[in-house]
Chain A
Amino acid sequence: MAEASNPAAIRAEAIESLLIEKGLITAAEVDEVVERYNERIGPLNGARVVARAWRDAAFKQALLEDATAAVAPFEFEGGQTEKLVVVENTATVHNVVVCTLCSCYPWAMLGLPPRWYKDPAYRSRIVREPRRVLAEFGVQLEPDVEVRVWDSSAEVRYLVLPQAPVNAAQLADDELVARVTRDAMIGVERFV
């Protein structure tokens, strides 16, 4: 197995074995965290929240006012104690999320961040030249659309509420959920 000769893999294994011997963690606990993020926590959670907001105006209002409280009934896993803030895209506003310092991300809503989100290029450029970076992602914004860049922190995690499809009323709940993408909830994709 190729892992055996990878220095990082060996270091990770060495750290884990020392921590197990010291009684600070068990292999089963590590397995559980990995399994949780590989199999149970992902952007489907965020998509369900967004689809509900598209369908239900009262829920959308509550979500924009206090997202942490509004999503509590969903009982998502993730051990997320940070405040969740949902920012709404409109015809004249486009929101995009970054963590300039590391990789903060609304785990409970979206799972773990994609590789590019953690990359130095995205973290620095989305702040300096958001329109250009968005264009590289395929988002062409009219000049009258305001771009708002939200920098995640230890305390606050942001989620973008994309614009609802025009035919939302004709779509079934699961069809609405299927319309929501991870990238749209980060703000590097725009539907309208």
Chain B
Amino acid sequence: MTQTYELSGAAAPPMVNGELAFDAPWQGRAFGIARGLAERGVYEWDDFRAALIEQIGGFDRAVETRDLHSSVPTPEFHYYDHFLRALETLLVARNIIAPGELIERVHAFEDRPEGHDHAHVHAHHHHH
């Protein structure tokens, strides 16, 4: 994606050493949702942190215990993939989102035609 930022002057974001807070807009959305829910009191931030530790811990253990002679390259660590997965796990565990409805919504979004309007998702049915 292309995102334009004004990177100098008084209005420059307080990012640091040239690094923006998020690499992609969806990472910002994921962070905004996770943090926003905690600020609203839907859960405590510590609950999210516990889910994140569990999620990242799983990755760390898999890397630590992997066979050094394996021809499969060491998996890359993508922090926000784990962040999003932790959010999903917590929301499902708290019965806030049902796994089925999430899958259904993901499929509906995947089926959107190119150039769709993000703001309006219309239920549409595909006949294969």
Contacts and interface: CB of A to CB of B under 8 A. Distances in A.
Contacts of A29: 32, 36, 39-40
- Chain B residues touching A, majority SS: helix
Nearest to A25: B36
Residue from the set B1, B14, B114 with the largest chain A CB neighbour count within 10 Å: B14
Nearest to B48: A102
B79 A182 contact: no
Contacts of B35: 33, 79
B88 A44 contact: no
The 3 A-B pairs with the shortest beta carbon distances in the complex, nearest first, are A42-B14, A9-B26, A30-B32
B77 A3 contact: no
A138 interface: no
B112 A4 contact: yes
The size class of the interface chain B forms with chain A is 35 or more
B9 to A, nearest CB: 13
B21 A38 contact: yes
A15 B84 CA distance: 9
Interface string A84-116: 000000000000000001111000001110110
B15 interface: yes
Contacts of A154: 46, 49
B109 A10 contact: yes
A165 interface: no
Given A19-B33, A32-B32, A111-B14, 16 more contacts: A9-B26, A12-B84, A14-B102, A15-B33, A19-B96, A22-B97, A30-B32, A33-B36, A38-B21, A41-B14, A79-B35, A111-B16, A112-B21, A114-B16, A118-B79, A120-B60
Nearest to A6: B26
A118 B81 CA distance: 12
Interface residues of A, number: 54
B71 to A, nearest CB: 21
Nearest to A43: B16
A163 B33 CA distance: 38
Contacts of A1: 1
A11 B87 CA distance: 11
A101 B53 contact: yes
A24 interface: yes
B93 interface: no
Contacts of B1: 1-3
Interface in B12-47: 13-17, 19-33, 35-37, 39-40, 42, 46
Contact of A25 (B33, B110, B112): B33
Contacts of A110: 16
A37 B33 contact: no
A41 B35 CA distance: 14
A12 B13 contact: no
